[in-house]
Amino acid sequence: MPEESINHINFDELNQKALSQPLIQHIYTADPSAHVFNGKIYIYPSHDVDAGEAFDDLGSHFAMEDYHVISMDSPTSEAKDNGVALHVNDVPWAKKQMWAPDAAEKDGKYFLFFPAKGHDGIFRIGVAVSNSPVGPFTAQAEAIKNSFSIDPAVFKDTGDSYYMYFGGIWGGQLQRWRNGSFNTTQPESPTAHLPKENEPALCAKVVRLTDDLLEFSEEPKDVLILDETDNPLLQGDTKRRFFEASWMHKYNGKYYFSYSTGDTHFICYAIGDNPYGPFKYAGRILNPVVGWTSHHSIVEFEGEWYLFYHDSSLSKGVTHLRSIKVTKLIHDENGFIKTINPYGDLKAVV
Ligand code: FUB
């Protein structure tokens, strides 16, 4: 992760060419999970802060403590910060690192799903509930039973079924759960426990939620991504394999699973026929942004599709101080997504 390479970037030129500007500038925000509730856009991002933690490959420098919900009347209108919606101190089971959240609505109630490290240093996923989309949210006393890893994304399918996609490798600890329980050996290595390069890649997980949206209704299953020959993507296929940042959207009856490739910095996608997959790799949605991480959501608003994403342009390249952005997303006549270059003809150096 060559953080120094950002010094080569001419930020004035980059910002001029950028497809969009940060939606919120008075705080740093990242990992935007956008939804349309009651005709309005609500964005559930991480709230980035500089807590003074040293940079490492486990993401210790992402030491976030709370969530703010951002609302917009439309993708081009002003974004409003609705203040603190949930703080780590109000989550009995959580200790630190409030990473990428998501939200869902059911029967007039709003559910905030979020990962955090517990007092044992293990990432779990929790739920907090509110009567308002902007919170404040009240956390459940315990994390979701049998939850693990990071980056929950909750998708409501037709028929009122809700599915959670989740997981992230390296600092997200997904690789440490390969045998069904948390592997405590080699705790400081982000890459120990990963499959070998020529083995099938580690998959994101998908699980249907219970009717009250507070628990898993089944064992999480692998989100399998197949290549052009219908074989699973390999762990060594780093420009296409799953790393973190799951999202699901449905377009013309097909299920689009999108995700970040992490250390190669792409947002890619794969298409399937049902929420569980398998999904066939279909291409890139977003080329690398300034900053190491890339994380997004895709949402339809008044018949048009939008990509919410983040970059570190406002902080001039500081990896853990990111800003949420939005741009249009186009599905072509065959259902494929047109790749987005976030700075036009300029390439981000990561
Ligand atoms: O914001 C912390 C972590 O960085 C997220 O959980 C990942 O998806 C990456 O964006």
CA gap 25, 6 in Å, rounded: 20
CA gap 329, 165 in Å, rounded: 21
Residue 163 CB neighbour total at 10 angstroms: 18
Which residue type, as a one-letter code, is found at position 306? Y
Is 1 within 8 Å of 319 (Cβ atoms)? Answer: yes
CA gap 217, 69 in Å, rounded: 27
- The predicted structure's pLDDT at residue 4: 38
Is 131 within 8 Å of 148 (Cβ atoms)? Answer: no
Helix (H) or strand (E) holding 17: helix 11-17
Spell out the residues 6+ positions from residue 350 whose beta carbon is closer than 8 angstroms to its own. Answer: 2, 5, 265, 288, 289, 290, 291, 292
The answer to whether residue 31 is catalytic is: yes
Q: Which residues have CB under 6 Å of ligand 1? A: 30-31, 46, 62, 99-100, 150-151, 168, 244-245, 293, 295
Residue 143 CB neighbour total at 10 angstroms: 23
Q: What angle do CA 316, 317, 321 make, to 5 degrees?
A: 95
Closest CA to ligand 1's atom 3: 99
- Does residue 278 have a cis peptide bond before it, meaning omega lies within 30 degrees of 0? yes
The distance between the two most distant Cα atoms of the chain, rounded to a whole number of Å, is 51
Query: Ligand 1, closest atom to CA 46?
Result: 1
**Catalytic residue of the set 48, 102, 244, 311:** 244
Residue 228 CB neighbour total at 10 angstroms: 7
Q: Chunked in runs of 10, what are the mean pLDDT values of the chain (350 residues)?
A: 52 92 98 98 98 90 98 98 98 98 98 98 98 98 98 95 98 96 91 96 98 98 98 98 98 98 98 98 98 98 98 95 98 98 84
Q: What is the pTM of this model?
A: 0.97
- The predicted structure's pLDDT at residue 255: 98
Question: Is CATH 3.40.50.300 correct for 3-329?
Answer: no
The answer to whether residue 244 is catalytic is: yes
- The predicted structure's pLDDT at residue 152: 99
- The predicted structure's pLDDT at residue 33: 99
Annotate 178-237 with three-state secondary structure. Answer: CCCCCCCCCCCCCCCCCCCCCCECCCEEEEEECCCCCCECCCCEEECEECCCCCECECCC
Token pair for 228: 């052009």
CA gap 267, 264 in Å, rounded: 9
144 CA to centre of ligand 1 in angstroms: 20
Query: Ligand 1, closest atom to CA 151?
Result: 6
293 CA to centre of ligand 1 in angstroms: 7
Closest CA to ligand 1's atom 9: 293
- The predicted structure's pLDDT at residue 10: 87
The count of residues in the chain is: 350
3-state secondary structure of 44: strand
Pairing of strands 225-226, 279-286: parallel
CA gap 228, 82 in Å, rounded: 45
- The predicted structure's pLDDT at residue 305: 98
- The predicted structure's pLDDT at residue 350: 63
CA gap 135, 111 in Å, rounded: 9
- The predicted structure's pLDDT at residue 8: 67
100 CA to centre of ligand 1 in angstroms: 5
Q: Is 181 exposed, middle or buried (0-12, 13-18, 19+ CB in 10 A)?
A: exposed
Extents of the domains making up the chain: 3-329
Question: DSSP states of 285-324 as a string?
Answer: EE---SSS----EEEEETTEEEEEEEESTTTTS-TT--EE
Token pair for 332: 């072509």
